[in-house]
A = this chain, B = another copy of it.
């Protein structure tokens, strides 16, 4: 237990694979929430019950049908130090509430980090699959396949009328949350983002910043996910999310075209200044870093600047507080982090000169 290979590298292996629409959609995530019928929800479970829950799930992992998903590394939260926990959250490999609220919380993470099975989080079981780009259906199918294997071994809490029962009522029914992390700089620059995101929420989807619920959006990165888990079946949820995201992508593409035709030199100036500042600054806070990385990401797509997308994806994680401190080897004040963040960005962009 306590294998920390996942906190050494900023970029999960799965992020290096090809994804659809990857100039706009960073990644897709699907998670399924499940609970065991014979145990109280984690918040009410005794220590012993939580351990039994974990033990039941561990046994499922030896099912040979799990082999295609790669080796799953067990991680017990209590064995990790705070920085490792924070990095796992920053990489979206575990949820913030597994860190802050769970007792006997654990996770099983695959070698390529595309599959993370959390135990004793808000629910007994959360199966999470991550894919690069826009691959909602693919992520859902994989999570569903894992879910089927578990269902053959354990007794899920299920109600014929309400569907899968979950600790929080917002997850009851399918227990399914599908989300897409999407980069919308041109909609932001052309002041259309408010209108678009408002429309998104009106069709039953939720919009959040990428780090934590309700956190301020930075770097024009948005997480769009289904709000509803009850009253729609899984296919409807997946299709609805996919369809709306495709429309948002079209709007973002149109906005990028408009920027290029209406104010090419102005947008190029903005992007290149951000690149120059990232290459040379000595102090940079996380909000500014995210905004300037967003500019550069747009610049790569528009052909103004040549930085590999994987380097930008890496920097999105590398500039987070936890990863910075993990890399430096200890706790740092916010001021110290701003200095170290600038150094990490300078060096990483230099290493990725093309």
Contact with A269, one of B268, B275, B283 (Cβ below 8 angstroms)? B283
Interface string of A248-282 (1 = CB under 8 A from B): 00000000000000000110110011011111111
Do A342 and B269 touch across chains, with their CB atoms under 8 A apart? yes
- Identity of the chain B residue whose Cβ is nearest the Cβ of A279 in the assembled complex: B276
Interface status of A246 (Cβ within 8 A of chain B)? no
Task: Determine chain A's interface SS by DSSP, over half rule.
Answer: helix
Residue of B nearest to A268 (CB): B282
* A278 nearest CB neighbor, chain B only: B276
Question: What per-residue 1/0 map shows which CB atoms of A212-244 lie under 8 Å from chain B?
Answer: 000000000000000000000000000000000
Q: Report B-chain residues with C-beta under 8 Å of the C-beta of A268.
A: 282
User: Nearest chain B CB to A339's CB is how many angstroms away?
Assistant: 6
Taking CB as reference atom, which chain B residue is nearest A339?
Answer: B265
Residues from chain B with Cβ under 8 Å of A269 in the complex: 281-283, 342
Partner of A265, one of B273, B275, B282: B282
How many angstroms from the CA of A89 to the CA of B276 in the assembled complex?
33
A145 to B273, CA, bound (A): 50
Within 8 Å CB of A283, what residues of B? 265-266, 269
CB distance from A235 to the nearest CB of B (A): 47
Binary per-residue interface labels of chain A (278-299) against chain B in the complex, 1 for a CB within 8 Å, 0 otherwise: 1111110000000000000000
Give the complex CA separation of A228 and B33 in angstroms.
86
Assembly CA distance A279 to B274 (angstroms): 11
Cβ of A281: which chain B residues have Cβ within 8 Å of it?
269, 272-273, 276
Q: Closest chain B residue to A264 by CB distance?
A: B282
Which residues of the other chain, B, contact A276 by a CB distance below 8 angstroms? 273, 276-281
Closest chain B residue to A272, Cβ basis: B280
Provide the bound-state CA to CA distance between A281 and B275, in Å. Answer: 9
CA distance A21 to B278 in the complex (A): 33
Residues on B with C-beta less than 8 A from A266 are: 283
Within the complex, the shortest CB–CB distance from A281 to chain B, in Å, comes to: 5
Interface members, chain A 301-354 (any B CB < 8 Å)? 339, 342
Question: Given the complex of chains A and B, what is the CA–CA distance between A268 and B265 in angstroms?
Answer: 29
Tell me, in angstroms, the Cα distance from A281 to B269 when the chains sit together: 5
Distance between Cα atoms of A283 and B238 in the complex (Å)? 45
Within the complex, the shortest CB–CB distance from A206 to chain B, in Å, comes to: 37
Bound-state Cα–Cα, A266 to B275, Å: 19
Contacts of A278 in B (CB 8 A): 276
With a cutoff of 8 Å between Cβ atoms, the chain B residues found around residue A280 in the complex are 272-273, 275-276, 279
A74-100 vs B, Cβ < 8 Å mask (1 yes, 0 no) = 000000000000000000000000000
Which residue of the partner chain B has the closest CB to A335?
B265
Per the bound structure, the CA–CA distance linking A282 and B263 in Å amounts to: 12
Q: Report Cα–Cα, A279/B280, bound state, in Å.
A: 10
A274 CB → nearest B CB, Å: 9
| A201 CB → nearest B CB, Å | 36
A354 to chain B, nearest CB (A): 16
- Residues of A at the B interface (CB closer than 8 Å) are 265-266, 268-269, 272-273, 275-283, 339, 342
7 inter-chain pairs at a CB distance below 8 angstroms, sorted by A residue, are: A265-B283, A269-B281, A269-B283, A273-B280, A276-B277, A276-B279, A279-B280
The 9 closest A-B pairs by CB, nearest first: A276-B280, A276-B276, A269-B282, A272-B280, A269-B283, A268-B282, A276-B277, A273-B281, A273-B277
